[in-house]
Structure 1
Amino acid sequence: MPDKAALLIGPLVHARSEWASVSKITSKLHEYPDGSRDDFLSKCRSGEYDDVFAMYRSNDSNRITGNFDSELISALPSSLKYICHNGAGYDNIDIAACTERGIQVSSTPIAVNNATADVAMFLVLGALRNVTHCFQAVRKGKWRGDFKLGHDPKDKTLGILGMGGIGSALAVRAKAFGMNIQYHNRHRLPEQQENGAKYVGFDELLETSDVLSLNLALSDSTRHIIGKKEFAEMKDGVVLVNTARGPLIDEEALVEALESRKVWTAGLDVFEKEPEIHEGLLRNENVVLLPHIGTATFETQRDMELLVLDNLRSAIKEGKLLTQVPEQKKDS
């Protein structure tokens, strides 16, 4: 039996038997299902996890440990070489600090694409049809309430900021509704991956999109990538959708743009200070709000857990990750 232990932080719901089977290639399986940051740090510093070679953690486990920032990473056992993260986004992990410690990190791209793109398309349609007022009115016995017409998606231009896996999956869905697709990335995709989408510069994307969907990762360079200046560049009456990360948008600026009707409607699954939602968004009936449920399906949650465990097994058996975060691929 290899002298390599694995540690699970937080819940694992859909792949318990697969986690148990990891015992065949490890010396021990540790679990830290609940607790606090201080308690976890204490266990790390006391040597309780000094045999841990690979770790499974998730965005959900952040409520237990807090961010994997430089303080926490410095307390992790020297034996730890791999962090297998459950989540497409990993902005709560200091990747630079991990790299400095010689810890490799994986995430769960691909597994999240379809479910998140479904929610993005749901929000595109909901925002275009401005469903919030009617949805609330009918439950209050007011039928349609102060009913107003919405817009068809057909022939509208959807601008996708961040044409990765989720953005590409959204493009396929939007095309089926007759939308014209354009996108902006730091680098243009190979033509065969564009599927007919038009590549444009960032400013052109802002100026010419009828609907703008944010599908990019959060980093220091993308925080508040959409703010007052960017709203001013957009079409009057633009629709904004965000299923990526809340801090991509300056919410104060968004509230102002909604109140002035520069932004006609918005569809949001993520927020700047989750779970807190800006009061200006809550009171505005021109916003469709969801509580960060982009990947919240049985099938996708299981696929994500299985991908994390596949990374864990590969780390232990082969010394490499299947879906390592791109920042570390660049450094390697």
Structure 2
Amino acid sequence: MSKPQVLICGTIVHAHDELKNDLGAVAEVLQLDSADRQAFYKDCAEGGRYSNITAIYRHNDSASSIGVFDADLIAHLPASLKSICHNGAGYDQIDVAAAKQRGIHVSHTPSAVDDATADVAMFLVLSSLRQFYRAERNAREGKWKSGLKPAHDPETKVLGIIGMGGIGSALARRAEAFDMKILYHNRNRNPNAQPSWEYVSSQAELLRRADVVSLNLPLNPQTEKSFGREQFGQMKDGAILVNTARGGVVDEEELIKALESGKLSSAGLDVYPAEPKIDSRLVAMEQCILLPHMGTETCETQKKMEVQVFGSIKAVLETGKPTFLVKEHRE
């Protein structure tokens, strides 16, 4: 009896042994090599090379050849497909509603990214409070402490986390080690939150009380540009914004205005609305700490993510449904 077919849409960088010996033991693994989107559609059509695939392993790097998984692409996927198993916690490159309408499950890798992304967020929190970017540049330019003013300790500062999922929880644990007070805002109270983390049902109250605000929420139609003029106006004067979620959840024009006016003393950013482009006005601001989307750029985390996707695909083959379904497909 032939094995079910699985299509790899993206590059496997670390988990080659697991791909061959684990997933390869239960599935025939095909590698995406369609030249472009139209060629991919042809390969997915009846009688095409991918017409019998059961699951897709998807990584964002496949967008360079076939584009994002929008409604049009999903409409061309073969009838045999049961699941798109995405490598990444964020899945804004997939039209999950279109997939759901076709009966195709979508999964992602939430827990695998938690620690690495929280490390980046904590780095941005500390760097923003202490203004380490300016200090490092001084050191490299031979200026020592010229022009540097005393910054701020993290101890006793209030960290407000918007989105207390896995990443937010990992960040809270790290911040507590620096004696920061933790507030968090979610749609609902997190039942796994530590007793010392204060749940705030009103986002406006969190913004009013927090010295540093960290965004840890997904990008979707409801959250796009949800953090803008009103939210910046509710923050403390001189507060700090940290974003390791998605650039699109912030109204970038309003962020720049808040920084230029001094409403925000600093911002620590790992994500941007038009990646890989970073607005030149942000680049010119000495008070901003900017990273090029480094959240999961570690060998260990990337391997965890790859292996987690393989596990979701195996679940599809065994039960018809992947593990780690996106929230829209759990509702």
TM-score, length basis structure 2: 0.95
- Sort the Cα spacing of 1:35 and 1:264 in 2 relative to 1 into closer, same or farther, 3 A: farther
Q: Is the aligned partner of 1:258 residue 2:259?
A: yes
Give the distance between the partners of 1:184 and 1:52, measured in 2 at CA.
41
**Residue 63 of structure 1, CA deviation:** 2.6
TM-score, length basis structure 1: 0.95
Aligned residues: 328
Tell me the secondary structure at the aligned position of residue 182 of structure 2: strand
Where in structure 2 are the equivalents of 1:1-332 lying within 5 Å? 1-21=1-21, 22-26=23-27, 28-32=28-32, 35-45=35-45, 47-190=48-191, 192-200=192-200, 201-330=202-331
Contact persistence 2:161–2:185 (CA under 8 A): yes
Give the distance between the partners of 2:125 and 2:67, measured in 1 at CA.
32
- Farther-moved stretch of structure 1 (194-203 vs 70-79): 194-203
Contact persistence 2:10–2:62 (CA under 8 A): yes
Contact persistence 1:3–1:51 (CA under 8 A): no
Give the distance between the partners of 1:14 and 1:58, measured in 2 at CA.
13
Contact persistence 1:10–1:34 (CA under 8 A): no
Paired letter, 2:306: E
Unaligned runs of 5+ in 1: none
**Residue 23 of structure 1, CA deviation:** 2.9
Paired letter, 2:217: L
Give the distance between the partners of 1:2 and 1:222, measured in 2 at CA.
44
Give the distance between the partners of 1:40 and 1:145, measured in 2 at CA.
57
- Farther-moved stretch of structure 1 (281-290 vs 223-232): 223-232
Give the distance between the partners of 1:294 and 1:36, measured in 2 at CA.
29
Contact persistence 1:8–1:33 (CA under 8 A): no
- Sort the Cα spacing of 1:258 and 1:123 in 2 relative to 1 into closer, same or farther, 3 A: same
Contact persistence 2:82–2:320 (CA under 8 A): no
Paired letter, 1:72: L
Post-superposition Cα deviations, 1:56-98, rounded to whole Å, max 9, x if no partner, equal 0112322332210001001111111111110000011000100
- Sort the Cα spacing of 1:33 and 1:171 in 2 relative to 1 into closer, same or farther, 3 A: farther
Contact persistence 2:10–2:60 (CA under 8 A): no
Tell me the secondary structure at the aligned position of residue 268 of structure 2: strand
Tell me the secondary structure at the aligned position of residue 193 of structure 2: helix
Tell me the secondary structure at the aligned position of residue 111 of structure 1: helix
Post-superposition Cα deviations, 1:289-326, rounded to whole Å, max 9, x if no partner, equal 00001111111111000000001111112222111111
Give the distance between the partners of 1:11 and 1:195, measured in 2 at CA.
42
Give the distance between the partners of 1:141 and 1:40, measured in 2 at CA.
54
Contact persistence 2:112–2:305 (CA under 8 A): yes
Give the distance between the partners of 2:145 and 2:32, measured in 1 at CA.
49
The sequence identity of aligned pairs, in percent, is 48
Contact persistence 2:43–2:51 (CA under 8 A): no
Contact persistence 1:153–1:179 (CA under 8 A): yes
Moved over 4 A (4+): none
Contact persistence 1:11–1:33 (CA under 8 A): no
Post-superposition Cα deviations, 1:110-136, rounded to whole Å, max 9, x if no partner, equal 111111101100000000011222222
Post-superposition Cα deviations, 1:252-307, rounded to whole Å, max 9, x if no partner, equal 11111111110000100000111111111110011000000111111111100000
Give the distance between the partners of 1:228 and 1:35, measured in 2 at CA.
43
Q: Say what the alpha-carbon RMSD is for the aligned residues.
A: 1.5
Tell me the secondary structure at the aligned position of residue 254 of structure 1: helix
